[in-house]
Amino acid sequence: MTQNRTPKNPTPKNPTPKNPTPENPAPKNLGHLDVLISGASVAGPALALNLVRLGARVTVVEKAPELRGGGFAVDFRGHVHRTVLTSMGIWDEIHARQTHMGRQTVVAADGSPRVDLPAELMSGDVEIFRGDLAQLMFERTEADVEYVFGDSIASLTQDADGVDVTFEQGAPRRFDLVIGADGLHSHTRRLVFGDESRYLRFFDHYVAGFDIPNHLGLDRTGRVHSEPGRAAVIGNYDGDPHRAGALLVFRSEELSYDRRDVTAQKRIVAERFAGFGWEGPALLKALEEADDLYFDAIAQVHVDRLVKGRVALLGDAGYGATMGGMGTGVAVVGAYVLAGELALAGGDHRTAFAEYETRIRDFAKGCQKISGNAGPFLAPPTERRIRNRDRMYRILGSRPLARFFKKMTEKAATGIELREYPY
């Protein structure tokens, strides 16, 4: 079933100025561009929001039948994120909907505390649920953007003047540009750049996230329990007395499974967590009932090119990193830079895509660099390594080291110089 959300205020066509420069930026000069974005999570709606500000006509196609909820809290940190989100007009709204995660405690199987992790280690300047962020950007764009849910690109054929697109459900259409913002396992990337086995680096762990009743009575705090090769985190981010979020991480060889088959994914997680102590039985019961399961490999995307002709990759599709790689912050900055470069180039995709690729590549790499250890850190492979990890947590929890750790992540999050864009 496809559900079309046609724009209430179609954007008028604007003339393109001849020679826009950074000193003399073009006004809303993308009125001649028809852009198709694949994926409506974070990167897709963020790009849509920036493009419509510049006058472009935007269609977003999303495979899911409706905007997807769920996902853990994501955070923003440093002046680059602040500048981008302020320019996009959503900084205050993110604060209005923010979560407030406090201390996280590593616990033994009987629930007794082993070591505390201070809040500043885990969160950025502001934190919001991924689903709330997606919803917020969707609300801000739905009047101007055509959202098509329950459909997917079937084929893409580029020529000198545009891209012919066929869809699994809808009628074929032609666009000026196509942007793949369809995540770690991007379908657009597979169609245009080749199979994901060339680009996806697997980090020996899987992660599952879902909601769980807040039966531990947590109030903006979290608990972590690790057994060799397995870990469970239960966290209450927003003070809801009834709900908490669960995150299960396990070490594994690479698995082959159907990503559309949620029941099969639940079975995999349940098998891997059989006999897990602490809250194991309650977690498995909540997993069985979950209607918002997020399950994926802990992996990173490394492509040689982010652009090919009139097609570009954005967010996780081009430079994703599951857990800790600030994927959401990089996606939002990438969307801002991509639309901004198109405006500076007066819609000339060759110039704009080349600039986008150059500017975002190193920034994204810097953020990916600090993320590779999430799996072994949460789920060390042996009891001895778990004890070593806890010792390290104790040291990290000391104020000066916490500040150092925070600085390191902030350095990655601010590792890009933003140009003046004509927003």
Ligand X SMILES: Cc1cc2nc3c(=O)[nH]c(=O)nc-3n(C[C@H](O)[C@H](O)[C@H](O)COP(=O)(O)OP(=O)(O)OC[C@H]3O[C@@H](n4cnc5c(N)ncnc54)[C@H](O)[C@@H]3O)c2cc1C
Chain positions contacting ligand X, by CB under 6 A: 38-44, 61-64, 68, 70-72, 74, 130, 152, 181-184, 187, 209, 294, 315-316, 320, 322-323, 327-328, 331
Taking the complex as a whole, the smallest distance from the CB of residue 73 to ligand X amounts, in Å, to 9
Q: Is 220 helix (H, G, I), strand (E, B) or coil?
A: coil
CB nearer to ligand X: give 55 or 296: 296
Q: List Cα–Cα distances, 25 to 21, 48, 50, 355, 420, in angstroms.
A: 5, 20, 16, 16, 9
Tally Cβ neighbours within 10 Å of residue 143. Answer: 11
* β-strands 222-227, 163-167 pairing: unpaired
Taking the complex as a whole, the smallest distance from the CB of residue 44 to ligand X amounts, in Å, to 6
DSSP annotation string for 46-112? HHHHHHHHTT-EEEEEESSSS------EEEE-HHHHHHHHHHTT-HHHHHHT-B----EEEE-TTS-
Residue with tokens 């205050």: 92
CB nearer to ligand X: give 29 or 123: 123
**CB burial class (10 A; 0-12, 13-18, 19+) of residue 172?**
exposed
Q: In sequence order, which residues have a C-beta less than 8 Å from that of residue 207 and are 6 or more positions away? A: 247, 248, 249, 294, 295, 296, 297, 298, 322, 323, 375
CB nearer to ligand X: give 185 or 394: 185
Taking the complex as a whole, the smallest distance from the CB of residue 82 to ligand X amounts, in Å, to 18
Report the distance separating Cα 389 and Cα 395, nearest Å: 10
Taking the complex as a whole, the smallest distance from the CB of residue 342 to ligand X amounts, in Å, to 18
Taking the complex as a whole, the smallest distance from the CB of residue 329 to ligand X amounts, in Å, to 9
CB nearer to ligand X: give 20 or 327: 327
Report the distance separating Cα 358 and Cα 344, nearest Å: 15
Q: What is the token pair recorded at 161?
A: 């003047």
Taking the complex as a whole, the smallest distance from the CB of residue 53 to ligand X amounts, in Å, to 19
Maximal C-alpha separation, the chain? 70
CA 9-15-18 angle, to 5 degrees, is 145
CB nearer to ligand X: give 26 or 234: 234
Q: List Cα–Cα distances, 117 to 60, 84, 404, 409, in angstroms.
A: 40, 30, 14, 16
CB nearer to ligand X: give 46 or 342: 46
Q: In sequence order, which residues have a C-beta less than 8 Å from that of residue 72 and are 6 or more positions away? A: 129, 130, 209, 235, 237, 245, 247
CB nearer to ligand X: give 111 or 172: 172
CB nearer to ligand X: give 25 or 235: 235
Q: Is 373 helix (H, G, I), strand (E, B) or coil?
A: coil
Taking the complex as a whole, the smallest distance from the CB of residue 305 to ligand X amounts, in Å, to 17
Taking the complex as a whole, the smallest distance from the CB of residue 38 to ligand X amounts, in Å, to 5
Taking the complex as a whole, the smallest distance from the CB of residue 247 to ligand X amounts, in Å, to 7
User: Closest residue to ligand X, Cβ-based?
Assistant: 315
CB nearer to ligand X: give 41 or 265: 41
Taking the complex as a whole, the smallest distance from the CB of residue 186 to ligand X amounts, in Å, to 7
Chain center to CA of 77: 15
CB nearer to ligand X: give 102 or 170: 170
CA 217-233-221 angle, to 5 degrees, is 40
Report the distance separating Cα 53 and Cα 404, nearest Å: 38
